[in-house]
Amino acid sequence: MHRPDSNCNELTEKTAAAMDNVTLKKLFVTVQRTNLRLTARYAIDDAMSHLTYSAEMIAGYTAAWFDHVW
């Protein structure tokens, strides 16, 4: 972690998985902006928990995970 070329993917994944608060998890993945894979994973997980909603609402929940892109 202390070297510029180090990779902390496993630590990042386990940290995000341990969080049970969606807002906190969104904050964490936003800080990890360079980790698109992590953001996409939790955006999809969140969308899957809202499958009874309309497509527009699901898209909104998913897009909210990528607010750092706008």
What confidence tens digit (pLDDT) does each residue in 6-60 have?
A: 677 788 788 888 888 887 877 777 776 667 777 888 888 888 888 899 999 888 8
Identify the pLDDT of residue 26.
Answer: 77
pTM above 0.85, yes or no: no
Identify the pLDDT of residue 4.
Answer: 64
Identify the pLDDT of residue 70.
Answer: 59
Identify the pLDDT of residue 54.
Answer: 92
Hey, CA dihedral for 45, 48, 53, 59, is it positive or negative? positive
Q: What is the CB-side half-sphere exposure of residue 42 using CA atoms within 13 A?
A: 27
Higher pLDDT residue, 1 or 43? 43
